[in-house]
Chain A
Amino acid sequence: MAKTIIPFGPQHPVLPEPLQLKLVMDEDTVVEAIPAIGYVHRGLEKLAELKDFNQTVYIVERVCGICSFMHSMAYVRGIEDIMGVVIPERAEFLRVIWAEIARIQSHLLYLGLIADGFGFESLFMETWKDREKILDVMEFTTGNRVIISANKVGGQTKDMTQEHFTAILKTMDEIEAKLKEYDKVFINNYSVKKRTVGIGYLSLEDVKEYAAVGPMARASGWAWDLRQTGYSAYKYLDFEPVVETGGDCHARNVVRIRETFQSIDLVRQAISKIPEGEIAVQVKGTPKGEVISRIEQPRGEAVYYIKGNGTKNLDRLRIRTPTFANIPTILKMLPGSQLPDVPIITLTIDPCISCTER
């Protein structure tokens, strides 16, 4: 029988991102899937070469609206390494607190989208309603909900007060209580499991072959989390990578839910340990040298290559985002799957195409 090619995306009701998959079908079964991107390429790496390295912070935090804070965190850490700048401990803790809050909102966004993917609209609305509480915390602590501009070369642009910490801890308690309810649905609900267990399997060998990162990789048994290297204030916090071995869509959901619980705990730990002191140091001069700066974003490892030439403009900024690393896993996961499972499998990558294309 002749094969059919179905274009899935870039505009599709279930896809939150402009990704196109050309699905070569044999009746209801996917034979081959070819991803295509390029709908939101903005040339940010070129733009970064034209701007002052301090202005580039504003560019990188606009690579993506979901992992915005951690993009700027990776960038400023790279510049600080090139220039030999050591920031105050309080600034390191503030970075970790905002980073983990950002991870919580990213994972809640994911949970909503995956619920929408299998038609569970009320669950989608509930998780995003809770995400609003996190965005409210962002606004309370920084003045902005999404792109918070809290990082700069040399430290932080804003500090937090005891009032902020109290509000954050209260929100963490509320989110944790709701997560315990979501836990029951995403992990134990019969209908949800029917759509996710055994679907989109990626083995540990596949993870290494395709160099997958983040929850995609940890759901297949790969215990790798950049935060374990102890960068920033993570060296003072107590945690282990969240790992599952199922390798399917269900395992990826479980990893992200457990990581959300873990992030709540990390925020509490960081708030209990944050020292008093300055939040930034004065930075003089311009960066000269090359650095690789890596960070564990919600979707996985992000890699920043930064090259300075001693002037205020960078020679090169290259950003490899986690979705950029994870998209090729589609080549492994989709062939052999059924057409109705394509959206769920794709969504479990937690794709962020604006990150991928920059």
Chain B
Amino acid sequence: MLPNMLLIENETFHFINKENLRNEIKKYKDDGYRMCSITCERLGEEEFELTYHMDLNYELTNLRLVGKYSEKIPSISHIFPSALLHENEYKDLFGIDFEDLLIDYKGNLYIPADGTKNPLR
């Protein structure tokens, strides 16, 4: 099926939390994984899920984190600089507060100051 991957609950995800997020991502980086993408999906009014898709030799491993909009999520952009655009995008589109971003566009990566806030939330 490579390079595609069906994502099946409890089979293709490793669940992590915001406390161990950076350590887990660092471990994957040290093992030679590259960060393929980060996906964000809303889960109701209060929560969202972030899925970190890590690739090694064309195979994906998916780390899933469930977070609350009221909490700060640690940024991994100091580990993988390519994460900075993903995280700023989700700050814009979902209103997720990422901590310690490599470059912080303060919610204005795509959305202008007078634009609709958090349109995907």
Contacts and interface: CB of A to CB of B under 8 A. Distances in A.
Contacts of A295: 3
Given A34-B103, A289-B6, A303 B81 contact: no
Interface in B1-19: 1-8
Max chain B C-beta neighbours (<10 A), residue from A41, A81, A82, A295: A41
Given A211-B35, A305-B39, A226 B58 contact: yes
A38 B7 contact: no
A310 to B, nearest CB: 15
23 contacts: A36-B105, A37-B109, A38-B110, A78-B4, A82-B6, A209-B80, A226-B3, A231-B3, A289-B6, A290-B8, A291-B7, A292-B4, A292-B5, A292-B7, A292-B53, A292-B62, A294-B4, A303-B37, A305-B37, A307-B41, A316-B39, A316-B41, A318-B40
Contacts of B51: 305
A193 interface: no
A301 interface: yes
Contacts of A292: 4-5, 7, 37, 53, 60, 62
Interface residues of B, number: 37
A188 interface: no
Given A231-B3, A303-B53, 8 more contacts: A37-B110, A41-B111, A211-B34, A211-B82, A295-B3, A318-B41, A325-B82, A332-B81
Contacts of B41: 307, 315-316, 318
A19 B119 CA distance: 23
A226 B110 CA distance: 29
B84 interface: yes
Interface string B50-82: 010100001010100000000000000000111
Nearest to A43: B119
A188 to B, nearest CB: 34
Contacts of A77: 4
Interface residues of A, number: 46
Given A37-B110, A46-B120, A210-B81, A290 B6 contact: yes
A328 B83 CA distance: 9
A84 B103 CA distance: 41
B71 to A, nearest CB: 21
A121 to B, nearest CB: 33
Given A37-B109, A77-B4, A211-B80, A303 B36 contact: yes
Interface string B96-121: 00000001010011111000000110
Interface of B: 1-8, 32, 34-37, 39-41, 51, 53, 58, 60, 62, 80-82, 84-86, 93, 103, 105, 108-112, 119-120
A208 B34 CA distance: 6
Contacts of B93: 45
A320 interface: yes
Contacts of A332: 81
A228 interface: yes
A357 B120 CA distance: 14
B82 A291 contact: no
Interface in A54-110: 77-78, 81-82
A286 to B, nearest CB: 16
A76 B109 CA distance: 29
Contacts of A37: 109-110
Contact of B4 (A293, A315, A316): A293
A186 to B, nearest CB: 28
Interface in A10-48: 34, 36-38, 41, 43, 45-46
A313 B63 CA distance: 26
A282 interface: no
A292 B105 CA distance: 28
A277 interface: no
A292 to B, nearest CB: 5
Interface in A303-358: 303, 305, 307, 315-316, 318, 320, 324-325, 327-328, 331-332, 356-357
A39 to B, nearest CB: 9
A36 B5 CA distance: 32
